Amino acid sequence: MQQPRLRIGTRGSALALAQAREVQRLLIAAHGFEESELEIVTIRTTGDRIQDRPLSEAGGKGLFTKEIEEGLLDRSIDLAVHSMKDMPTVLPEGLTIAAMLPREDVRDAFISAKWPLIDALPQGAVVGSSSLRRQAQLRRMRPDLQLVNYRGNVETRLRKLTEGAVDATLLAVAGLKRLGLADRITAAIPDDVMLPAVAQGAIGVECRFDDDDTSSLLASLSDAATSLCVTAERAFLARLEGSCRTPIAGLGRLDGGTFSFRGEILTPDGREHHATSRKGAPAAAVQLATEAAEELLAQAGPGFFGAHG
């Protein structure tokens, strides 16, 4: 039996597997591999095992990447496919993001069988979400809503909605599109109404820093605009020292020769909110996003993250 040339590590959810298969397809198209040469290896992560409490209580970012990155370091896999919004801002020593695929739609999706928009939800309606960011943004917009923690993969959340467990839920448009479930979106929420999570809609491919062969194969898959914007967003998050215990949103855009950035931080109850924006040259993207974080830290004051994180 032919040994695989490359082993692609991924979580086992339908969405993670769809993303891994997309990387597999792109590698075949770019380099002429046979499908049998690119083995997809599923790895169960801590985040997949924890279903009984919010991830923010269990340690936040890194719960969906730790075991996969251990696979890279012990050489049981050669590359790993991640949703970039799951990635901690500091990677383990010896690992690097070698490619970011062209970004999907960054927006959040409102999904409801009864109501067309968030604004149309009746007072006291029940909305399910496992995201502290989405919960805080909803509480700011509609403090009358009842928000419940809502774990599980995309299919599980949609099934619970159909069964009437909640009146509405919010998911990433990108994930629904990648799963072929775009028809389930009731409305895409404009990003000026609900600013998305840092790196939402972006897929990153990670490998060992010293693996020049794999890095060179992945380089042709990388989208320069996505890489620039997501790198800036992650610099913003890193400066805030944010995790999924603190509601943080940030979005970079490249439009012609201009990079624009918007960022916001909220308290979990949505009552305190700080936002800022920047525009400038693409070469200054990381600097602009970092300056935006500095401004928000100054606005919020020294106790903001400690008191509410």
* Other Cβ atoms within 10 Å of 51 Cβ, number: 10
Question: Is 86 in the active site?
Answer: yes
Joined together, the tokens standing for residue 153 give 């993969």
CA distance 126 to 166: 5
Joined together, the tokens standing for residue 25 give 């397809």
Q: How far apart are the first and last CA of the chain?
A: 52
> What Å distances lie between residue 255 and 67, 191, 204, 284, CA to CA?
37, 16, 22, 14
Nearest to 178 by CA among 64, 18, 13: 18
- The active-site residue out of 52, 74, 86, 213 is 86
Joined together, the tokens standing for residue 135 give 């919960």
CA distance 48 to 96: 23
Tell me if residue 12 falls in helix, strand or coil. Answer: coil
Q: Which residue has the tokens 């979990």?
A: 268
The DSSP element (H or E) to which 255 belongs, if any, is strand 248-255
Give me the residues paired with residue 170 across strands: 110
CA distance 84 to 287: 20
- Catalytic (active-site) positions: 86
